[in-house]
Structure 1
Amino acid sequence: MGRTDEAGSSVAAPKPPKRTYGKACASEPKGKSVAANVKTKGKGIATSSRANGKEKRAERSSSEELSEEDANVVVPAAEPPKKKKVVKKPKAKPPTYSEYLRKLRSMKQEETFYPDLDLLQRLGILDEVRGVLHTIGLGNLMEMLHPSYKDVTCQFLASLQVNHHNEEGPDNIAAGFGSIEFKIGKEQYEVTFREISDAFGFPVEGRSCLRKLAYYGNDLQQLWWALAAGSYEAGVSKAAAIRSPALRMVHKILADTFLGKKEYSTVYDAEVMMIGEGLKPLMPSFKSGQIFYGDSRKPTMAALLVKNFMAIKKWAHNNRIKEPSMRIGGLITPILQHIGVELSGDKIGYRLMDAYLKKINYLHGTVGEFYAYNFTLEEKITARVLFPNRALTSLAERKNIAFYITKDQYYNPEIHPPVQLIRKPNAAKKPCVNTPAEESNHVNTELELPRPIYGSRRYCLDPYDGPMMNNATEAAHRRTKNLQRWNKWKDKNFKKMAGTVRSLVYTVKKMGSKIKKLNASLRGTKEVKPLRVHAMKSC
């Protein structure tokens, strides 16, 4: 339909504007639901018209109203983002008594190591070692030589539970500073910390909580500088860096007997701090002038022992070692004997520490009635001193803790007799008695020249293990030994390379034969030479 203007001319009715989504109109009315929804979506309504064959944009007047169809259009609201479902991993169940017992029984039970008191007496350091251990609170540990029983030890550790108190007080003292519970067979037992202290002769001092020894500030580093050469790093520093023979033996007793470690060549925080507690009366301050405070709230020795039992129990269940072993049974036997538990099963005796201490480079040998002791001056530089020598080993003098001695006190092969290597009695060779016929044959064979050795084996010489003139000679022998190891390693690589070359030659010849067969089949001939593989000469 059209309409007429005042002049009577006919004018076409305007078409309703088309809605498009684009930029919002500046003159758009507010308050309408559709406009509000569109505005929330960040879109606007625009109109378009065509004039003179060209597309033009025009703003819609404020007086225009939306049609009923447009008013009913509702823009859908944005859906909220879906929350990802976080699947919580189920907590691992604690191992049962049967699992602990199975793991412990699968481990190898070794003898508990104890110090050799006769050897310490011959070295002249028994009183010093005993004094430091007594100050720590482990004075009776050296004399308590007990065997171990595998089945009883496994049952004790598998069922061990600890009830401890965090603070001291009359109630806690009356309760025995806490207790442990365990099961042997079908019987349930409870032993207080005080009873454990009575079984070992530990002093009833300190806290009963299962807390580690703790040193604050740089006390630990200062203590290591007072004992050993080089800087300290837990699990990396070597026990051989401790210079004093008495303190080095104390560390070996702590790591080997009290803590039951199989690997005692490296030093950890607990061992250094226990040595520090034993030296606190002898060394109230460090060389730098700093006061040595130590741990004023240290736990009792019974608490430290129980904490070590719990650590071994956890390690036994979580370790992935191919052939694990433990040697702590000798410290469980006194507890069971103190409360009257009947010990049965496989009995494993105790064992004295390496009586000759050759394996850990503690002693080098004997010079008459004296022992040659090895100690570290700097990194990989060692010296030897002859013991017994009370002037050097007595810890009553402050300088002997650091074990700084002059060069004229070193072992000198030019002045002293040669060092005789110490060998175990079972390794000593028995004297052989030859018959007259064997002696005549021996005389005849001495004139024969030795058989020549060819190849790289002629460079593999036995290391010299006799007395050295000085440190330079010892360092030269050590470097020569490293060079021989490098040559052996190269020989192994050459053998592997020769085997690889042989297999490669065989593969190449086999591929050549296959190519010839393929060519013959393509030509229609069947004459193919058989495969011949010649073994490659060894390199």
Structure 2
Amino acid sequence: MPPRTMFKKKGKKKNGEGSKPTPSTYPWPREENTLIELPDELIPEQSDEQWDQTDSFYYNKLLNIKLQPTLVMCTDTLKRLGIFDEVSIILRNTKLTQLAFEDDDLYPDLVRQCLASAKLRYANPTKPKADEATFTFFAEGKRYSIDMATFCTAYGFHDEDKELRFPSKFEVANQFWQTIASGHYKSNTASISVIRHPAVRICAKIFNNMLFNRDSGNKVALDVLMLPYFGCGDLVADSYSVSVPVEHSINFGVQLAQTICAVRTKPFGSSQVIYIGSLLTALFTFAHIPLRYATKDVSRRRMDTAHLLTSGFLCDENTYSYKGAYGVAQRTPLPNPAMTALNTAANLRFLMEVPLLADAAHDGAPAPNSGAPVSSSGAPARASSSCYPHSPQRDEELPDYVSADAGEFDLAPISDDPDDAEFRRWMVASTKKNNSLMKRLLQMLTSGYRSSTATAASSPERHPRRRRRTGGSGSESPEDTTTH
């Protein structure tokens, strides 16, 4: 037998004489969306100038997370619903107009590289200043550095704003929340879905999604609540007991950069999705990153009619669904400029006062203000007794609209082009008619009232019942022997 031959194990070649130098962009170029094997002695453990193993770890982690296009405003839908101008006012006052309509293609692998390596640095970390901040990231192994002025320009932010963070206190949080929604404000329970005004509600959703990367959540954190206040708080700020400025100097470039840097450290589950990726395309463009050969996703996610129907914002293409005072579900057709125009505090509260509508419909004149609230806390005032039917205990006569003829509850269709008075009369009639539950309740109440009245009139005098109490001796108590 020939002698056994021993072979040495092959290992990775180290850089030295006769070996090719490692490119500075290592581990790129490489196939997109492929795992980086770690440890790799050619990748430094930590480095500010090169892609390091920390970046590789987060890149591998992000490979398991699905990326979706960022949700943005839909101009056509907002115009069709008649709230485009109101949304534009809020966005302009908050200085976030361009961000809300930032609609770009998605480059999944470049987004993962950017999110895995993004860092926000300051010239003096002990005394950070917005104008001295720099956003850095890696793409295809190359390091890119963008100063904050350029970063703000990419998204249309005001780079002259100097505040690095939102105010730690918002003294009118509860008062403002009761203006736009119902109940007391608590950041862990306040929901976007209970905001009444459609323009404010849509803007809150966009703020949550784009600036703070909270697409999957529906909660209204304190920073999100401040933005609608900056957008339309001038309508109600004077009525609050505490004065809070409605203008801000928050540098949204710093805020968005912090949001991007925080993505990689979030704990992700197998079913979670990142929705902020499309926003990074603006940075890639300003950094002159070659996008020609990168894989891209050209699909879009917009707040169009289909999205608003799915989310419960609309119950049909032209009917807005919201929760009125005390969380009562209400619907109103859109467009309706008289209610949605952000020109009064009453319209911001978006509370429909039914008694006023009833009076206007009865008199054939327009209502004073169909959206007028009655109290600054967001709760409607107690209406006069003449606006509501009396109960049988207070009035022996039944309400005028209670009748045995069920046809009185049939709601007639509204004309194709109604005027304001006809529309209000139809809205009032819809609260009284075409409602099977109301029919049943009225039948129960009226039948119960009539039967109780008839029983009281026809029932004979009741006599005490004779009871026999048997004691040990078998004698009866004198109180138990009652003669009839």
Q: Which bracket does the TM-score occupy, shorter chain normalised?
A: 0.5 to 0.7
1:350 aligned onto 2:350: no
**How do 1:18-33 residues align onto structure 2 when only pairs under 5 Å count?**
none
Give yes or no for contact 1:112–1:147 (8 Å, CA) kept in 2. no
Cα deviation, 1:90-126, whole Å, max 9, x if unaligned, reads: xxx9981111101112100112111111110011110
Distance 1:252 1:166 in 2: 35
Give yes or no for contact 2:172–2:240 (8 Å, CA) kept in 1. no
Alpha-carbon distance, 1:225 to partner: 1.1
Distance 1:395 1:214 in 2: 28
**RMSD value over aligned CA atoms?**
3.4
Q: 1:180 aligns with which of 135, 146, 152?
A: 135
Alpha-carbon distance, 1:377 to partner: 1.6
Q: 1:192 aligns with which of 147, 157, 160?
A: 147
1:249 aligned onto 2:172: no
Distance 1:282 1:390 in 2: 17
Give yes or no for contact 2:237–2:246 (8 Å, CA) kept in 1. no
Change (3 A) 1:474 1:181: farther
Alpha-carbon distance, 1:260 to partner: 3.3
Q: Which amino acid aligns with 2:222?
A: D
Which residue of structure 2 lines up, in the alignment, with residue 207 of structure 1?
Answer: 162
Alpha-carbon distance, 1:289 to partner: 3.8
Alpha-carbon distance, 1:471 to partner: 11
Q: 1:139 aligns with which of 97, 118, 132?
A: 97
**How do 1:95-244 residues align onto structure 2 when only pairs under 5 Å count?**
96-164=54-122, 176-207=131-162, 209=164, 211-216=165-170, 218-244=171-197
Q: 1:414 aligns with which of 406, 411, 416?
A: 411
Q: Which runs of 5+ in 2 are unaligned?
A: 1-45, 47-51, 358-369, 372-408, 416-429, 441-484
Q: Which amino acid aligns with 2:113?
A: Q
The alignment partner of 2:132 has SS state of: coil
TM-score where L is the length of structure 1: 0.54
Q: Which amino acid aligns with 2:109?
A: D
Change (3 A) 1:264 1:116: farther
Cα deviation, 1:277-334, whole Å, max 9, x if unaligned, reads: 222444333x4443233685x531101111111222211xx33x22221011111100
Change (3 A) 1:120 1:104: same
Cα deviation, 1:244-267, whole Å, max 9, x if unaligned, reads: 111011112112333333324332
Change (3 A) 1:379 1:291: same
1:384 aligned onto 2:331: yes
Give yes or no for contact 1:365–1:372 (8 Å, CA) kept in 2. yes
TM-score where L is the length of structure 2: 0.60
The alignment partner of 1:347 has SS state of: coil
Which residue of structure 1 lines up, in the alignment, with residue 385 of structure 2?
Answer: none
Cα deviation, 1:200-241, whole Å, max 9, x if unaligned, reads: 1111232263x344334x321111111111111113222121
1:291 aligned onto 2:259: no
Cα deviation, 1:332-372, whole Å, max 9, x if unaligned, reads: 10011012111243312322125231222211124xxxx21
The alignment partner of 1:180 has SS state of: strand
Cα deviation, 1:434-472, whole Å, max 9, x if unaligned, reads: xxxxxxxxxxxxxxxxxxxxxxxxxxxxxxxxx996798
Change (3 A) 1:140 1:147: same
Give yes or no for contact 2:411–2:433 (8 Å, CA) kept in 1. no
In our comparison, the structure showing a higher alpha carbon Rg is: 1
Which residue of structure 2 lines up, in the alignment, with residue 308 of structure 1?
Answer: 259
Change (3 A) 1:289 1:121: same
Alpha-carbon distance, 1:398 to partner: 1.7
Percent identity, aligned pairs only? 22
Give yes or no for contact 2:211–2:255 (8 Å, CA) kept in 1. no
Change (3 A) 1:398 1:333: same
Q: 2:271 aligns with which of 323, 326, 331?
A: 323
Distance 1:328 1:224 in 2: 27
Change (3 A) 1:413 1:360: farther
Change (3 A) 1:99 1:470: farther
Deviates more, 1:145-154 or 1:198-207: 198-207
Q: Which amino acid aligns with 2:411?
A: E
Give yes or no for contact 1:112–1:260 (8 Å, CA) kept in 2. no
Q: Which amino acid aligns with 2:347?
A: N
Q: Which amino acid aligns with 1:327?
A: Y
The alignment partner of 1:359 has SS state of: helix
Give yes or no for contact 1:240–1:375 (8 Å, CA) kept in 2. yes
Give yes or no for contact 1:141–1:200 (8 Å, CA) kept in 2. yes
Structure whose residues are more often strand by fraction:
1
Q: Which amino acid aligns with 1:219?
A: V
Which residue of structure 2 lines up, in the alignment, with residue 364 of structure 1?
Answer: 315
Give yes or no for contact 1:375–1:383 (8 Å, CA) kept in 2. yes
Cα deviation, 1:486-539, whole Å, max 9, x if unaligned, reads: xxxxxxxxxxxxxxxxxxxxxxxxxxxxxxxxxxxxxxxxxxxxxxxxxxxxxx
The alignment partner of 2:104 has SS state of: coil
Q: Which amino acid aligns with 2:242?
A: Q
